[in-house]
Structure 1
Amino acid sequence: MSGNRWDTAGVPHKGWTCVDVVDLRADGGPADETDYATCQMCGNEKIRYVHIMEHPGLDENFEVGCVCAEKMSDDYEGPRRREARLRNRAARRTRWLQRKWRVSAKGNSFLNLEGYNLVVYPTKTKRWGFKIGDRFGPRTYPTANEAKLALFDDFWAATQDDDRLWSSD
């Protein structure tokens, strides 16, 4: 449902909790191909970072923008901080392929980051895989760059709170 729900009877204005924030362009696609969301609280039609809000008095979650998330949760730092983290992730993912990847003696591309050995390698089936330390990625990919981006996604999910890794890259 879209439109302005701030004036709708029965829709609470406060007491909401953010359960997740989603970047609709997390895959790094171009802006003109992004399917933006509409804020379910104010009706803004161009929301890239969707804050999923829940309220104990309602069965449905609302998908809203940052400003509405702030007002609904009465938290004027958390939503901006969560959105900034996603913005930083998107920028880092964009730069990931331009990093200075080294080549191992076996011919595999790799990075060593703060004790983590990140490797992208060709498989016997002419596809590409990755590994983080001794842990292999769950899938293979058609190109080395797709494997590198999947490696980024997996590595980010596991280490996003580690400031040693993400504070200066």
Structure 2
Amino acid sequence: MSSGRWDQPGIPHKGWHCVDVVDLRADGEPADEADYATCQMCGNEKIRYVHIMEHPDLDEHFEVGCVCAEKMSDDYEGPRRREARLRNRAARRSRWLHRKWRISAKGNSFLNLEGYNLVVYPTKTRRWGYKIGDRFGPKTYPTAEEAKLALFDDFWAATQDDDRLWASD
């Protein structure tokens, strides 16, 4: 394995900060079918979680792995925490359909989580929608399972920082 850009003149080693972290494995995609990235700093060829780093002296972003993100930002907790959050999301999403969904008096599947009422219901057009409290999802879906997963994505985006919701699922 080459040392990548660590040895290139003009590439700063410190002073970077993370713009985003991306999970390259699509939701539900088997590990052997996933496309992985190559770290632009060290050359590691199998990175699933890509940390997008920027530096004030450079115009381009670098896509790197967790270890390089730690070294570049001189932050040895943040990159691991951000990556762990994505790992947790993927694991929780994979279990979402297997939760104990209850059935309402109207026949709709629902969950009540820490004051949130999450509902999946059939529409008049034989598709499926979802509701978070009084807010309806923006689209409908061909199956109840697809609606439940869209509900998860929407609910996660709105509540991912709420530890009381995600601590025990």
Asked if these proteins are the same fold (TM beyond 0.5), I'd say: yes
Q: What amino acid maps onto 2:81 in structure 1? A: R
In the alignment, which residue of structure 1 is the partner of 2:24?
24
Partners of 2:127 and 2:20 in 1: how far apart? Answer: 33
Residue 138 (str. 1) matches residue 138 (str. 2): yes
Letter in 1 for 2:94: T
Q: Which consecutive residues of structure 2, in runs of 5 or more, have no partner in the other structure?
A: none
- Deviation string 1:106-129 (CA, Å, 9 cap, x unpaired) is 111000000000001111111111
Taking the aligned partners of 1:94 and 1:29, their CA distance within structure 2 comes to 10
Moved over 2 A (4+): none
Residue in 1 that maps onto 2:34: 34
- Corresponding residue SS for 1:124: coil
The 10-residue stretch of structure 1 (69-78 or 25-34) with the greater mean CA deviation from structure 2: 25-34
Contact 2:26/2:34 (<8 A) preserved = no
Please give the TM-score of this superposition, normalised by the length of structure 2.
0.96
Who is 2:87 aligned against? 87
CA offsets 1:36-76 (integer angstroms, 9 cap, x no match): 11111111111000101010011111111000000000001
Q: Give the share of equivalent positions with the same residue, in percent.
A: 89
- Deviations along 1:1-31, one digit per CA (max 9) or x if unpaired, are x970111111111000001111112512110
Deviation at 1:139, TM superposition (A): 1.0
SS at match of 1:141: coil
| Paired position in structure 1 for 2:45 | 45
Q: Which runs of 5+ in 1 are unaligned?
A: none
Aligned length: 168
